């Protein structure tokens, strides 16, 4: 009797604890379960940020309803796949789930996928709105093998009356010419800083994120025109530190701080070799690789204020040559030290010309 009462009491306590836990986290569970990059992914073409001219072409296709085969090329994280999904939603409406096959070609990239999955889908009978076609979306299509692309070319020919293909890729040159000639080509460019800033502010407002202007500038700097990376870094910084400022952003992104790199460039311009080398050694001691350091050096020099244009071009040339050597395997502190000495020599030569 007493044991049953004890077990009942125990059960009621655990239920109460569970209810208390649910009540405590009810408001936040959705935002923590779903990444912001998915939560705030545009659902309509008019909501897509950037590449306005290309998006207008897609809106015209959605309005007319006659979608051609298409290739969308551009850098990662700028809205290629999202654009195709938005177009498919607007074309097919409620028939989207049945009428769309989405594959990532970097995983499903062999000839068997084309012969089995894609061909089976193309043969399937689906009830669609009048004048609409089934849509096959191939993400990372430039990763497909040559044999798979040849098989896909033939499949596109045979089933063009019922199925249209949308290929998203980073480099359209890796798609074979017979497929390119069958497709409309849409090229996406990297997003501007203002476009990313506007979107980040909207998300910060919706999620009640505390931030300062330097924090958003740091997110834009690390993203390099990649909206997906900017949003992911924003969520990581907010969930990790509960405040978005430049220090926290660079801790999350683990990149050399531009302020330190800026000081190195300033020392080179003033021909203070020891100071510049000390800055490089400090970044090396912090564990940054030669590629991390050289990449940040390039980006800081590119937007450095107060440097003569001809000297900036010479700096970029030297940084590019050193980057090439590092990528070939000579990723050592000696290479970075040699770069600093050459940059200081360029500044010395420039000073002698202006005297």
Same domain, 70 and 179: yes
56 and 174 co-located in one domain: yes
Whole-prediction pTM:
0.76
The predicted pLDDT at position 353 comes to 59
* Same-domain pairing of 63 and 87: yes
**Same-domain check for residues 247 and 265:** no
Answer whether residue 150 is part of any domain. Answer: yes
Shared domain for 7 and 61, answered yes or no, is no
Same domain, 133 and 201: no
CA distance 135 to 235: 32
- Whether 54 maps to a domain, the answer reads yes
User: Residue 308 sits in which domain range?
Assistant: 258-354
pLDDT tens per residue across all 355 residues of the chain: 444 444 443 443 444 554 454 444 444 444 446 899 999 998 888 889 888 898 999 999 888 888 899 999 998 888 888 999 999 999 888 888 888 888 876 666 667 777 778 888 888 888 888 888 899 998 888 888 888 888 888 888 888 888 899 999 988 888 999 999 988 899 999 999 999 999 999 999 999 999 999 999 999 988 888 999 999 999 999 988 989 998 889 888 888 888 899 999 999 999 999 999 999 999 999 888 899 899 999 989 988 888 889 999 999 999 999 999 999 888 888 999 999 999 999 988 877 655 4
Total domains in the chain come to 4
Which is it for the CA torsion 141, 182, 117, 89, positive or negative?
positive
Any domain includes 40: no
Check whether residue 263 and residue 310 sit in a common domain.
yes
Residues 248 and 152 in one domain: no
Per-residue pLDDT, 267: 93
CATH number for the domain spanning 308: value is 1.20.272.10
Pair (69, 183) in one structural domain: yes
Whether residue 348 is found in the same domain as residue 215: no
Q: What is the CATH number of the domain that holds 213?
A: 1.10.8.60
Q: Residue 56 has which token pair?
A: 């207008």
Q: What is the CATH number of the domain that holds 153?
A: 3.40.50.300
Please state, as a whole number, how many other Cβ atoms lie within 10 Å of the Cβ of residue 43: 13
Same domain, 84 and 176: yes
Torsion over CA of 227, 230, 235 and 238, rounded to 10 degrees? -150
In a domain, 203, yes or no: yes
Would residue 24 count as lying in a domain? yes
Contact 340, 268 (CB under 8 A): yes
* pLDDT at site 108: 64
Q: Of the candidates 155, 187, 219, which is a domain's last residue?
A: 187
In a domain, 38, yes or no: no
């Amino acid at each position: 009797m007493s044991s049953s009462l004890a077990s009942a009491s125990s059960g009621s306590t655990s239920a109460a604890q569970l209810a208390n836990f649910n009540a405590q986290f009810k408001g936040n569970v959705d935002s923590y379960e779903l990444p912001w990059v998915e939560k705030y992914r545009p659902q309509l073409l008019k909501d897509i940020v950037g590449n306005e001219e290309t998006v207008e072409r897609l809106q015209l296709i959605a309005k007319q309803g006659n979608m051609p085969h298409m290739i969308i090329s551009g850098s990662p994280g700028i809205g290629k796949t999202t654009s195709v999904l938005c177009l498919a939603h607007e074309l097919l409406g409620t028939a989207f789930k049945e009428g769309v096959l989405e594959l990532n070609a970097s995983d499903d990239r062999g000839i068997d996928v084309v012969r089995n999955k894609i061909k089976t889908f193309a043969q399937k009978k689906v009830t669609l709105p009048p004048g609409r076609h089934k849509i096959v979306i191939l993400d990372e299509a430039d990763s497909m093998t040559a044999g798979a692309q040849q098989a896909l070319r033939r499949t596109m020919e045979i089933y063009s009356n019922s199925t249209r293909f949308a290929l998203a890729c980073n480099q359209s040159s890796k798609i074979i010419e017979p497929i390119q000639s069958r497709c409309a080509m849409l090229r996406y460019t990297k997003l501007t800083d203002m476009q990313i800033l506007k979107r980040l502010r909207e998300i910060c407002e919706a999620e009640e994120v505390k931030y300062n202007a330097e924090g958003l500038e740091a997110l834009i700097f690390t993203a390099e025109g990649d909206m997906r990376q900017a949003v992911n870094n924003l969520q990581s910084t907010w969930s990790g530190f509960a405040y978005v400022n430049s220090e926290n952003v660079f801790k999350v992104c683990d990149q050399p701080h531009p302020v330190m790199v800026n000081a190195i460039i300033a020392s080179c311009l003033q021909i203070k070799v020891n100071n510049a080398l000390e800055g490089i050694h400090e970044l090396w001691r912090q564990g940054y690789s030669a590629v991390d350091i050289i990449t940040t050096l390039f980006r800081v020099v590119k937007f450095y204020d107060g440097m003569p244009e001809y000297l900036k071009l010479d700096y970029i040339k030297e940084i590019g040559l050193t980057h090439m050597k590092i990528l070939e395997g000579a990723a050592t502190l000696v290479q970075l030290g040699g770069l600093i000495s050459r940059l200081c020599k360029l500044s010395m030569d420039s000073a002698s010309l202006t005297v």
